[in-house]
Chains A and B, each alone.
Chain A
Amino acid sequence: MEKMKNNDTLHKSARHVLLVMLAVLPAAVSAGPSGQAMAFTCAGCHGTDGSSVGPSMPAIAGMDPEVFVDAMKAYRQDERNSSIMNRIAKAYTDEQLKEMGWFFASQRLQLFPQQYDATLAARGAELHEEYCEKCHENGGRPGDAGTLAGQWMPYLHYTMEDFLDGNRKWPRKMKRKVDAAIEEAGDDAIPALVNFYGSQR
């Protein structure tokens, strides 16, 4: 198990090197807008350089580029419940998504304080440790999975609603883990987790 994880990490590092190489070459390789120019157009909804100040729009700064590209592809293929991202994602090629992904990956994530329920957050911390930490490492900080720590709580609520209502495809193993958390904590499970992530800085 450990060994596999190391291989994954190596594989990912190699990918990152490739992405860096692509990011410095675009002007020579292709005409068309730069990754930065495309990423700048997202800021009106996701905040300058991807640090959102609007609680319904997720922060995307510092996001793993592969997670970004996967999310955009899912929107592009109408595989993820959305009101607007599906319409926007259809404008970009795979290559352009990679360039934007790399831009956001290299931005510093700025988080903003949110009001949270301390009791729920404490319960959520336990649930996270038991059911989520394995994939959402370091309390859900940016890594191989989407950014959860410090992420806007209304956005996290929408996301969990979509998973539970069958409007978003579960990543491998996630459904089993979330079901187990709900089995343990009942209706409090999701609010507890959301409050825990919202409490993180």
Chain B
Amino acid sequence: MTDMKRRTFIRATAGAVALGTLGIPGLVLGASRRVVVVGGGVGGCTAAKYLRKLDPSLAVTLIESKPAYTSCFMSNEVLSGDRTLQSLTFGYDGLRRHGVEVVQGTAVGIDPEKKQVQTAAGDTFGYDACVVSPGVGFKWDAIEGYDEKVANALVPHAWYAGPQTQLLRRQIESMPEGGHVIIAAPPNPFKCPPGPYERASQIAMYCKHHKPRAKVTILDAKDAFSKQGLYMEGWRKLYGYGTEDSMIQWISAAAGGAIEELDPSTRTLVGLVEDFQGDVVNIIPPQKAGAIAFAADLVDGDWCPVDKRTFESSRHKGIYVLGDASSAAAMPKSAYAANSQAKVAAAAIVARFQGKEPDDPTFVNTCYSIVGEAFGISVAAVYGFDSHTNTITPIPGSGGVSPANASPEIRKREVSYAHSWFKNVINDMME
């Protein structure tokens, strides 16, 4: 039904009776509709910005525990020394300029009946719609001997950018020439599927110049990984992959790469087949939805089921779960995916406030990885929505990864695209 027809229809049938739930909220209700957004990452920030962009009458509050956002994407460049952590850190003033109220606090519970979010400080925030975008949490019981304390002090995960990224960088810098870096990559699904392999590449890029006899070993809980063919092409060209002297080794699960235990004192990883000892060890633990998703009863298993048309939780009406924490199956847990999902959810929330049916959604993912100085690769996908099966499906014939054996010029351009991508994603989510 078009806007015009809808309005005529309402006037003719419902008269003034239905006005309480329709029309422009600020005018009809005398108070603006409230949306509370939990989580100040890509999903939460983008949702907050686009809610205000699509309907400036909305009162949007974003609750985030940190005073500033630090992006995990591009943080592998901190490990190679190509950028500082500061260059990945952004305050929330951009969102404030869009009229978003940004509250520093930690959401600890959501009451879907009373429509309230509770924070650790004991404050409650009432909402008409709630957006939850908490990112991932870690399964700390998955690898024996590895816990949060060990991660902070000795064996960082660095899968959220911050002090652990800097710790890992310092460890790499201070390891002896000829040292051994081990990265333990997690099973699917996890945040940033190409990330562990870009990390290995960036560390190798640093070592090539500063510690040319160093080795980087990826111990994988999987037998295949994102952009695998392109990574291996880059590794062959840049780091001797496939030769005796290769700087990078990849050990698949089938070859004994899955890790069961860590001995932190010797930095030894215990695998099914053999043990691995490193000078620097980075464990990226298996993942699940962030804590608030569990506290608010939004999960089914590890992740949050949602209606793919709107990203509204299948478990509680009025709560929309975005980004890494949601189970969007076909879409990777990536920054671009969260950014894309957030706009779909924001449009759906605004449509419903106006008494309309949300449009069919459309999603995009693009993701760049920097394998070496002039060697960038990418993956892209455009997704449609199948209402019969509630699934997000890639549009046939579109998407895919960079071509194999592309010209050096294209590989070099993709590095510059990666950096421009970063600027535009940050801009679109919070500036």
When the two chains form the complex, which single residue of A25, A56, A84, A87 contacts B419, counting CB atoms closer than 8 Å?
Answer: A56
In the assembled complex, the Cα of A87 lies from the Cα of B378 at a distance in Å of 11
CB <8 Å contact, A41 and B382? yes
Could you give, for residues 72-89 of chain A, a 1 whenever the CB lies within 8 Å of some chain B CB and a 0 otherwise?
000000000001100111
Q: Is B413 an interface residue (CB 8 A)?
A: yes
CB <8 Å contact, B340 and A47? no
Q: Is A52 an interface residue (CB 8 A)?
A: yes
Chain B hits for A83, CB < 8 A: 378, 402, 406, 410, 413-414, 417
In the assembled complex, the Cα of A55 lies from the Cα of B414 at a distance in Å of 13
Q: Is A27 an interface residue (CB 8 A)?
A: yes
CB <8 Å contact, B422 and A54? yes
Chain B hits for A40, CB < 8 A: 50, 340, 343, 347
CB <8 Å contact, A55 and B343? no
Given A52-B424, A87-B399, A91-B398, is A44 in contact with B416 using a C-beta cutoff of 8 Å?
Answer: no
In the assembled complex, the Cα of A28 lies from the Cα of B347 at a distance in Å of 18
CB <8 Å contact, A91 and B413? no
Q: Is B360 an interface residue (CB 8 A)?
A: yes
In the assembled complex, the Cα of A48 lies from the Cα of B362 at a distance in Å of 17
Could you give, for residues 336-367 of chain B, a 1 whenever the CB lies within 8 Å of some chain A CB and a 0 otherwise?
10011001100100000000000111111010
Q: Is A113 an interface residue (CB 8 A)?
A: no
Chain A hits for B366, CB < 8 A: 44-45, 84, 88
Could you give, for residues 31-42 of chain A, a 1 whenever the CB lies within 8 Å of some chain B CB and a 0 otherwise?
111101110111
Q: How far is the CB of B10 from chain A (nearest CB, A)?
A: 16
Q: How far is the CB of B194 from chain A (nearest CB, A)?
A: 15
B392-431 residues at the A interface, CB under 8 angstroms: 395, 397-400, 402, 406, 409-410, 413-414, 416-417, 419-425, 427-428, 431
CB <8 Å contact, A54 and B423? yes
In the assembled complex, the Cα of A153 lies from the Cα of B306 at a distance in Å of 42
In the assembled complex, the Cα of A35 lies from the Cα of B347 at a distance in Å of 13
Could you give, for residues 111-152 of chain B, a 1 whenever the CB lies within 8 Å of some chain A CB and a 0 otherwise?
000000000000000000000000000000000000000000
Q: Is B29 an interface residue (CB 8 A)?
A: no
Q: Is A57 an interface residue (CB 8 A)?
A: yes
Q: Is B380 an interface residue (CB 8 A)?
A: yes
When the two chains form the complex, which single residue of A27, A36, A37, A55 contacts B420, counting CB atoms closer than 8 Å?
Answer: A55
Q: Is B2 an interface residue (CB 8 A)?
A: yes
Chain A hits for B420, CB < 8 A: 45, 52, 54-57
Q: Is A180 an interface residue (CB 8 A)?
A: no
B1-50 residues at the A interface, CB under 8 angstroms: 1-3, 5, 50
Q: Is A170 an interface residue (CB 8 A)?
A: no
Given A44-B340, A56-B417, is A90 in contact with B424 using a C-beta cutoff of 8 Å?
Answer: no
Q: How far is the CB of B361 from chain A (nearest CB, A)?
A: 6
CB <8 Å contact, A33 and B360? yes
Chain A hits for B425, CB < 8 A: 44-45
Q: Is A46 an interface residue (CB 8 A)?
A: yes
CB <8 Å contact, B413 and A34? no
Chain A hits for B343, CB < 8 A: 37, 40-41
Chain A hits for B335, CB < 8 A: 44
Given A37-B347, A38-B362, A87-B398, is A56 in contact with B416 using a C-beta cutoff of 8 Å?
Answer: yes
CB <8 Å contact, B359 and A44? no
Could you give, for residues 82-104 of chain A, a 1 whenever the CB lies within 8 Å of some chain B CB and a 0 otherwise?
01100111111000000000000
Q: How far is the CB of A200 from chain B (nearest CB, A)?
A: 20
Q: Is A67 an interface residue (CB 8 A)?
A: no
In the assembled complex, the Cα of A80 lies from the Cα of B421 at a distance in Å of 20
CB <8 Å contact, A41 and B363? yes
Q: How far is the CB of A108 from chain B (nearest CB, A)?
A: 13
Q: Is A166 an interface residue (CB 8 A)?
A: no
Q: How far is the CB of A106 from chain B (nearest CB, A)?
A: 15
In the assembled complex, the Cα of A187 lies from the Cα of B240 at a distance in Å of 38
Chain A hits for B336, CB < 8 A: 44
Chain B: CB-nearest residue to A165: B409
In the assembled complex, the Cα of A166 lies from the Cα of B227 at a distance in Å of 29
Chain A hits for B395, CB < 8 A: 90-91
Q: How far is the CB of A107 from chain B (nearest CB, A)?
A: 12
Chain B hits for A32, CB < 8 A: 360, 362, 384
Q: How far is the CB of A96 from chain B (nearest CB, A)?
A: 9
In the assembled complex, the Cα of A158 lies from the Cα of B424 at a distance in Å of 19
Chain B: CB-nearest residue to A96: B362
Q: Is A43 an interface residue (CB 8 A)?
A: yes
In the assembled complex, the Cα of A158 lies from the Cα of B409 at a distance in Å of 10
When the two chains form the complex, which single residue of B3, B382, B428 contacts A44, counting CB atoms closer than 8 Å?
Answer: B428
Q: How far is the CB of B121 from chain A (nearest CB, A)?
A: 33
Q: Is A53 an interface residue (CB 8 A)?
A: yes
In the assembled complex, the Cα of A27 lies from the Cα of B4 at a distance in Å of 11
In the assembled complex, the Cα of A53 lies from the Cα of B416 at a distance in Å of 13
In the assembled complex, the Cα of A89 lies from the Cα of B360 at a distance in Å of 19
Could you give, for residues 169-195 of chain B, a 1 whenever the CB lies within 8 Å of some chain A CB and a 0 otherwise?
000000000000000000000000000
Chain B: CB-nearest residue to A155: B420
CB <8 Å contact, A46 and B424? yes
CB <8 Å contact, B347 and A44? no
CB <8 Å contact, B340 and A41? yes
Q: How far is the CB of A123 from chain B (nearest CB, A)?
A: 25
CB <8 Å contact, A87 and B380? yes
What are 18 A-B contacts with C-beta separation under 8 Å? A33-B359, A34-B359, A37-B360, A37-B362, A41-B343, A41-B382, A44-B339, A44-B425, A48-B427, A52-B420, A53-B423, A54-B422, A57-B424, A83-B413, A83-B414, A84-B402, A84-B417, A88-B364
Question: Closest 5 A-B residue pairs measured CB to CB?
Answer: A54-B420, A91-B382, A91-B398, A33-B362, A41-B364
